[in-house]
């Protein structure tokens, strides 16, 4: 029977708090600044905001809940979450703006609020009304579900729902949540309980159909229950009745997971499913075998990864079926239902159809001879096309033909546009023939000019870029668009990366043919839903999702927030800045009126807003290409890469979205002995994270810059030759002339290389889409990408 997950994040209280369990203690003595305001966290004060100087400010008093007891006798939580801030020291006197006293000061970057990095996990108890903030999304934490959903599953933009619409408008803050239904839990967290009500299904409100939950109130001695969403009073079924105590709490609440936990999964009867029986998973690879695919080593990389893909599917989806098709100027299928594999060709690329039924070319992964068939298929593809590759490809016709074949096998429920099969297309260039062909080349001269807007505005001959960004199939199917530049046949790390990427994507915890419905209490309504999904024709608060995995997120807003955008995206950037200024201005106006007029007030909960806003403006998804003479032919961000980043950010959970715009940097040349090893909890020990700024770089060091969308390893110009030989096997490196990698071991491999390999491998597995490692030195043209990713520094672009 299917299961239906249920996540709760809106406790029914007058002020509408979301999460937490304890009210923080008052600020410590000696804190200067505005007087405390009820319900608002302590503010940071930086002075002055725009004239150059940031005077010293004593640290605020400690904030955060006292240590929490464990929910389970056998569970040992880490230290509790305390919202503390490092003291702000006086800035150094240096060149910069001139103050009233005649001295010159500059902004001390060490005193700017930054995300705190702590090696130990934060312990957070999610329970009822509280003033405690959830832990930051990009921090390491352990959530104890004690009656409220973990922020991994549902994270709100506000910790409290404003009491009135006017208060929400006054704050200038958006009200919404980011929902990640299948978020990956920490190994130390309790699993989501599975609740089975039998053939009748879970208990629900008779009016709004909300599920019974830990905020449902039982009244009249337990004989009725009041829905916490619509307040409807319903009769309690006889077999679900239980007496209540003097506070109205059921006496069996500890035995009813749906009443004790904020996140549960319900086993539901077949009536909840659109099919009579569960559909078998089908995984299809469509591989480009044109001459460009062979030249870039794409064919060899994907073909070499097939045995690992089969092994991954056998573990994650033992009942799945796998199929491989290739294409160049025609579409090729391979019959696997015979003793000897034979190829069937579909030459019509303008109106492609399936030449063979799906059962003939799909291979059950649990078949005893599955590995033998895959190995035979590897040899056949390399033999047939390596010496006779065509110079055109028809990826559009390949997808159309694959869909036609899967339709005949029941692989798609076309009426609801829900795909039970997954088709992954690997191509080295745009389609030049058949369905979806693109006849115009990319106009490289348009980048950094006023003509670049045509790539994204859907006008002229370059409308296909706008269509890929706005109308691509994966926006409806829940898939990914990945762009892999500089895919080189001479780099062995690309073979390893391709295998790692495919196994990671196919091995994720996932659900297919899902329906996400967002229910909110009276006074609120769903305004907009953002993500990759098929909109529901019946309800605005419901979406159909063909595929949901552990890294799929959906954003939901509860008020209108309209943005008129010009073709070049400039209005989006201006609005980001305006919103940031407006929010901080509103806080100062209504919550810190006694502060000096020359002080910039940063409340604790919003102290990182200016930093993240600036980082977003500098991200590769939004920043402009260089213009004028300073560009000198350099294309910073191509349209393909920008499209990929926009698609990923549209469906990333909060922690990965933050990482995408604000990366972490690690110094790898002076690692301690324990880095790269496992601690007593089984977690890999990482080096201390550094802020992404050039002030932390050293000419004699190795620095790793990692985000959820890229990974760079920068080699300093004066790095010790002994260190380079220990890590890369050569004493001198110039990546503009030679290629180095961290694949396998070398004759001179040392402990440091093993540590770096462990750190890089761990970080890649934490990303929703593992990024290939790019190794570069200062003389390499790619070092511009590394320096541009240091978002705390001034860049050559407009920001």
Distance, CA of 182 to CA of 780 (rounded, Å): 41
Closest Cα partner for 489 from 298, 682, 325? 298
Give, in order, the Cα–Cα distances in Å from 759 to each of 692, 749, 789. Answer: 18, 16, 20
Do residues 282 and 323 lie in contact, with contact meaning Cβ atoms separated by under 8 Å? yes
Identify any residues that bridge with 689 across adjacent strands, giving them in sequence order.
666
What phi, psi does 385 have (nearest 5°)?
-115, -15
User: Which residue in this structure is represented by tokens 């190995």?
Assistant: 375
> What tokens were used for 662?
């604000």
What phi, psi does 503 have (nearest 5°)?
-65, -35
Question: How crowded is residue 297: how many other Cβ atoms within 10 Å of its Cβ?
Answer: 20
User: In the prediction, which pLDDT does 133 show?
Assistant: 86
Distance, CA of 796 to CA of 90 (rounded, Å): 30
194-260 and 282-428+487-507, same CATH topology: no
CA–chain centroid gap for 379, Å, is 37
User: In the prediction, which pLDDT does 456 show?
Assistant: 63
Do residues 475 and 482 lie in contact, with contact meaning Cβ atoms separated by under 8 Å? no
Distance, CA of 670 to CA of 528 (rounded, Å): 48
What phi, psi does 584 have (nearest 5°)?
-65, -35
Q: Model's pTM, two decimal places?
A: 0.80
CB within 8 Å of 147: residues ≥ 6 apart: 126, 127, 128, 214, 260, 261, 262
- Give the DSSP letter of residue 90: P
Q: CATH second-level architecture of 663-798?
A: 3-Layer(aba) Sandwich (3.40)
User: In the prediction, which pLDDT does 574 show?
Assistant: 86
User: In the prediction, which pLDDT does 129 show?
Assistant: 75
Q: Is 493 helix (H, G, I), strand (E, B) or coil?
A: helix
> What tokens were used for 82?
């305390």
What phi, psi does 723 have (nearest 5°)?
-65, -45
Distance, CA of 92 to CA of 95 (rounded, Å): 10
Distance, CA of 797 to CA of 624 (rounded, Å): 7
User: In the prediction, which pLDDT does 132 show?
Assistant: 81
User: In the prediction, which pLDDT does 99 show?
Assistant: 45
The series of mean pLDDT values per 10 residues for the chain, 799 residues long, is 53 36 38 36 42 36 36 34 39 42 55 80 86 87 94 93 87 93 93 94 96 95 95 96 91 94 93 72 93 90 94 92 94 92 93 89 93 95 88 90 78 41 88 82 70 61 52 79 75 83 92 90 89 84 90 86 47 86 88 73 87 92 70 71 88 94 95 91 90 93 95 94 90 81 72 93 91 89 89 73
The alpha-carbon radius of gyration of the chain (Å, integer) is 28
Give, in order, the Cα–Cα distances in Å from 40 to each of 34, 59, 173. Answer: 11, 17, 14
CA–chain centroid gap for 549, Å, is 11
Q: Where are the domains of the chain?
A: 194-260, 282-428+487-507, 663-798
Identify any residues that bridge with 555 across adjacent strands, giving them in sequence order.
178, 530
Cis peptide before 222 (omega within 30 of 0): no
User: In the prediction, which pLDDT does 116 show?
Assistant: 78
User: Which residue in this structure is represented by tokens 């959906």?
Assistant: 554
Topology at the third CATH level for domain 194-260: SH3 type barrels. (2.30.30)
CB within 8 Å of 226: residues ≥ 6 apart: 216, 217, 218, 219, 232, 233, 234
User: In CATH, what class is 282-428+487-507?
Assistant: alpha beta
Give the strand pairing for 141-145 and 534-535: unpaired
**How is 545-572 classified by DSSP, letter by letter?**
EEEEETT--EEEESS-------TTSHHH
Do residues 559 and 175 lie in contact, with contact meaning Cβ atoms separated by under 8 Å? yes
What phi, psi does 239 have (nearest 5°)?
-80, -5
Give the length of the chain. Answer: 799
Do residues 136 and 84 lie in contact, with contact meaning Cβ atoms separated by under 8 Å? no
Question: How many H helices and E strands in the chain?
Answer: 18, 32
Closest Cα partner for 86 from 104, 108, 101? 108
């Amino acid at each position: 029977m299917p299961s239906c997950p249920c996540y709760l994040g809106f406790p029914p209280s007058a002020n509408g708090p979301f999460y937490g369990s304890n009210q923080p203690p008052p600020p410590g003595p000696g804190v200067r600044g505005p007087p405390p305001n009820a319900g608002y966290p302590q503010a940071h004060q930086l002075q002055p905001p725009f004239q150059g100087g940031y005077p010293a400010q004593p640290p605020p008093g400690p904030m955060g809940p006292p240590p929490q007891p464990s929910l389970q006798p056998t569970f040992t939580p880490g230290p509790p979450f305390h919202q503390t801030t490092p003291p702000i020291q006086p800035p150094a006197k240096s060149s910069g703006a001139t103050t009233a006293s005649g001295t010159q000061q500059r902004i001390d970057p060490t005193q700017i609020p930054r995300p705190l990095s702590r090696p130990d996990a934060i312990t957070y108890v999610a329970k009822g009304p509280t003033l405690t903030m959830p832990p930051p999304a990009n921090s390491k934490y352990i959530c104890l579900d004690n009656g409220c959903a973990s922020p991994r599953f549902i994270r709100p933009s506000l910790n409290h729902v404003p009491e009135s619409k006017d208060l929400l408008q006054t704050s200038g803050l958006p009200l919404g949540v980011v929902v990640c239904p299948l978020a990956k839990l920490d190994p130390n967290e309790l699993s989501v309980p599975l609740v089975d009500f039998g053939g009748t299904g879970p208990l629900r409100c008779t009016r709004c159909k909300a599920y019974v939950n830990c905020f449902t109130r039982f009244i009249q001695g337990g004989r009725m229950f009041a829905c916490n969403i619509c307040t409807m009073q319903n009769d309690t079924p006889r077999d679900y009745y239980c007496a209540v105590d003097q506070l109205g709490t059921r006496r069996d609440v500890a035995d009813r997971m749906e009443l004790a936990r904020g996140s549960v999964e319900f086993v539901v009867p077949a009536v909840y499913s659109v099919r009579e029986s569960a559909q078998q998973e089908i995984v299809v690879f469509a591989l480009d075998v044109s001459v460009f695919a062979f030249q870039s080593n794409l064919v060899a990389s994907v073909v070499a990864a097939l045995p690992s893909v089969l092994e991954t599917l056998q573990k994650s989806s033992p009942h799945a079926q796998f199929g491989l098709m290739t294409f160049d100027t025609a579409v090729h299928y391979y019959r696997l239902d015979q003793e000897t594999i034979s190829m069937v060709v579909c030459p019509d690329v303008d109106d492609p159809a399936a030449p063979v039924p799906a059962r003939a070319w799909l291979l059950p992964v649990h078949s005893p001879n599955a590995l033998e068939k895959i190995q035979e298929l590897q040899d056949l593809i390399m033999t047939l096309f390596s010496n006779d590759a065509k110079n055109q490809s028809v990826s559009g016709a390949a997808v159309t033909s694959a869909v036609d074949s899967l339709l005949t096998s029941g692989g798609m429920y076309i009426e609801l546009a829900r795909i039970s099969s997954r088709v992954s297309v690997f191509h080295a260039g745009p389609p030049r023939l058949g369905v979806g062909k693109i006849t115009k080349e990319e106009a490289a001269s348009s980048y950094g000019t006023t003509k670049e807007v045509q790539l994204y505005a859907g006008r002229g001959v370059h409308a296909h870029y706008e269509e890929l960004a706005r109308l691509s199939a994966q926006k409806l199917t829940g898939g990914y668009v990945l762009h892999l530049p500089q895919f080189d046949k001479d780099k062995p790390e690309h073979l390893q990366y391709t295998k790692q990427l495919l196994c990671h994507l196919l091995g994720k915890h996932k659900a297919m043919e899902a329906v996400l419905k967002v229910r909110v209490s009276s006074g609120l309504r769903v305004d907009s839903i953002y993500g990759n999904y098929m909109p529901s024709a019946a309800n605005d608060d419901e979406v159909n999702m063909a595929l949901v995995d552990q890294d799929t997120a959906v954003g939901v807003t509860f008020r209108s927030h309209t943005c008129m955008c010009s073709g070049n995206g400039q209005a989006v950037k201006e609005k980001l800045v305006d919103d940031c200024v407006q929010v901080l201005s509103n806080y100062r106006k209504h919550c810190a009126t006694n502060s000096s007029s020359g002080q910039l007030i940063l409340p604790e909960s919003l102290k990182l807003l200016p930093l993240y806003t600036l980082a977003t403006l500098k991200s590769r998804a939004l920043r402009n290409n260089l213009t004028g003479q300073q560009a000198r032919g350099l294309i910073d961000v191509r349209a393909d890469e920008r499209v990929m980043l926009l698609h990923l950010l549209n469906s990333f959970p909060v922690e990965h979205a933050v990482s995408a715009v604000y990366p972490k940097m690690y110094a790898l040349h002076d690692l301690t002995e324990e880095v790269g090893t496992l601690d007593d909890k089984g977690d890999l020990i990482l080096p201390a994270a550094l802020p992404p700024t050039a002030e932390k770089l050293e000419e004699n060091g190795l620095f790793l810059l990692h985000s959820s969308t890229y990974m760079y390893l920068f080699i300093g110009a004066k790095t010790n030759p002994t260190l380079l030989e220990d890590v890369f096997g050569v004493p001198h490196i110039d990546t503009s002339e030679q290629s180095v990698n961290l694949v396998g071991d070398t004759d001179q491999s040392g402990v440091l290389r093993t540590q770096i390999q462990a750190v890089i491998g761990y970080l890649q597995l934490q990303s929703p889409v593992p990024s290939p490692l790019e190794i570069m030195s200062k003389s390499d043209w790619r070092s511009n990408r590394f320096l541009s990713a240091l978002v705390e520094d001034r860049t050559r672009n407009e920001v």
